[in-house]
Amino acid sequence: MAQHLKSSSSKSAFVNILKHNFGIGSQSHAARHLRPNLPNGPPRQNPISRLCNTMAEKLSVSSIGLHVDSNNQVLDFPGGKVAFTHEIQFISESSKERVPCYRVLDDNGQQIPNSHFVQVSEEVAVKIYSDMVTLQIMDNIFYEAQRQGRLSFYATTIGEEAINIASAAALTPQDVIFPQYREPGVLLWRGFTLQEFANQCFGNKSDYGKGRQMPVHYGSNKLNYFTVSATIATQLPNAVGAAYSLKMDRKDACAVTFFGDGGSSEGDFHAAMNFAAVMEAPVLFICRNNGWAISTPTSDQFRSDGVVVKGRAYGIRSIRVDGNDALAMYSAVHAAREMAIREQRPILIEALTYRVGHHSTSDDSTRYRSADEIEWWNKARNPLSRFRTWIESYGWWSDEAESDLRSRIKKEMLEALRVAEKSEKPNLENMFSDVYDVPPSNLREQELMVRQTIKSHPQDYPSDVPL
């Protein structure tokens, strides 16, 4: 039977074991770790020797978890017990089988037998579907407006509607959102109106950002939705900090941040994951793995099994979900939120999906992927048609309801577009405000210079911007 080492002779045995395993006592080891002695001071020990002596001394008062039997030795090291082995064994770069993907509905929208999911009411299910349709119509109209030259930029969420809407449905208004630029559905679910979307995209005087952000870079203080930053993955560490604040204040809420597979290649992703794990922050990391970071496929980004396996490396509970299955997304986020708040821990969700649209209006995705691939995902794995089939099976939806919804949303969207386009632009002074309580001299000089230039060359500047 294993015995705890507590006697003086056991201490010697322990030191000998550490010497053997760490190579202490060899000339090469000492040369690597011994530092010069300080003048007029005591000799300096190398760190491993100091660790041996310190840990051996502790054996006299309590066991540190080193167990010895005829077959095995175990070291109680920070993080848990570590077994020793006499073999050279490297951790495999990947497991033989890929992490499975949780889903509830098959590609035809039929519920998989014996599937486990969080049941939704008729009201919630219909709203999930209605908002997905609304998001799709909004994307199509804004995209066409950009192509007509009425907007400077736009990015769609076509093919990723379920991640947007279903995840938002599983959260509460108190949960703080740190989005990327492909999560307008979360705002839509929370009550952001079509007019508010249009105001932001046109940057008029009713835009909360006062025309200082690119289109689709939404934000709403009222709806706990932090303003989108174009810089990839910078929202991730911010979300962890907010989550830790919620924890300190004992709030019944969590922070939720969204990012793409490309964002997981940024340093901010790794810093945020480690920060969240160590601080035990209630934050949900939701990755939209759509296979492409603009034109870069995931095979050129990383060799791991997607993003979900990165959670274990940082000590974060993780799950892979079918991002085109609204019911699976709702259930996974619902369960993740409950764990994050109840257990005060971060959760990583990798949602496998596909970006059917171009990365943005600055992109032509047919230059790096085939039209057949896009069409297959749009038809065979369409998140809207799958969820519609499911709600129709319960008698909650019909062709008539579909026609009425699409007709109404299209009219509302075109009207919002017309109003936003005709609205006055923000005053020029807003370009220099809202950063400092008292603008510094360099900003005042810049404003004066801009005004003088406009006065000298009025034909080069838009006439609809109030001076």
Are 411 and 439 within one domain?
no
Are 241 and 135 within one domain?
yes
pLDDT band per the 50, 70, 90 thresholds, residue 61: very low
Please tell me what DSSP assigns to residue 177: E
Within-domain flag for 210? yes
- The number of domains in the chain is 2
Within-domain flag for 328? yes
User: Rounded to whole angstroms, how far apart are CA atoms 360 and 310?
Assistant: 28
Are 315 and 449 within one domain?
no
Confidence (pLDDT) at 72: 59
Are 235 and 187 within one domain?
yes
Reply yes or no on whether the pLDDT at 211 is more than 60: yes
Within-domain flag for 59? no
Are 447 and 372 within one domain?
no
Question: Which of 201, 231, 210 has its CA nearest to residue 432?
Answer: 210
Read off the CATH number of the domain in which 211 is found: 3.40.50.970
Are 403 and 447 within one domain?
no
Average pLDDT of every residue of the chain: 88
Residue found by looking up tokens 């708040």 in the block = 341
Catalytic hit among 182, 217, 288, 355: 355
The strand pairing partners of 68, in sequence order, are: 3, 73
pLDDT band per the 50, 70, 90 thresholds, residue 73: confident
Reply yes or no on whether the pLDDT at 31 is more than 70: no
For 154-198, list the strands marked E by DSSP.
Answer: 176-178
pLDDT band per the 50, 70, 90 thresholds, residue 346: very high
The helix (run of H) or strand (run of E) holding residue 347 is: strand 347-352
Reply yes or no on whether the pLDDT at 26 is more than 90: no
Are 389 and 435 within one domain?
no
Please tell me what DSSP assigns to residue 159: T
Q: What is the pTM of this model?
A: 0.83
Reply yes or no on whether the pLDDT at 25 is more than 70: no
User: Rounded to whole angstroms, how far apart are CA atoms 232 and 180?
Assistant: 8
368 a catalytic residue:
yes
Within-domain flag for 185? yes
Within-domain flag for 340? yes
Sign of CA dihedral 157, 275, 177, 349: positive
Confidence (pLDDT) at 20: 44
Question: Which of 239, 254, 437 has its CA nearest to residue 339?
Answer: 254
Contact 356, 373 (CB under 8 A): no
Within-domain flag for 194? yes
Contact 43, 37 (CB under 8 A): yes
Confidence (pLDDT) at 265: 95
Within-domain flag for 380? yes
Are 448 and 392 within one domain?
no
Catalytic hit among 368, 394, 444, 451: 368
Within-domain flag for 143? yes
Are 251 and 363 within one domain?
yes
Q: Are strands 317-322 and 296-297 parallel, antiparallel or unpaired?
A: unpaired
Are 404 and 448 within one domain?
no
pLDDT band per the 50, 70, 90 thresholds, residue 27: very low
Confidence (pLDDT) at 161: 98
The predicted-structure confidence for 74-129, as pLDDT tens digits, reads as follows 998 988 899 998 899 998 888 889 999 999 999 999 999 999 999 999 999 999 99
Catalytic hit among 288, 359, 381, 386: 359
Query: Domain of 172?
Result: 122-422
Burial class (CB in 10 A: 0-12, 13-18, 19+), 420: buried
Are 399 and 293 within one domain?
yes
Are 201 and 228 within one domain?
yes
33 a catalytic residue:
no
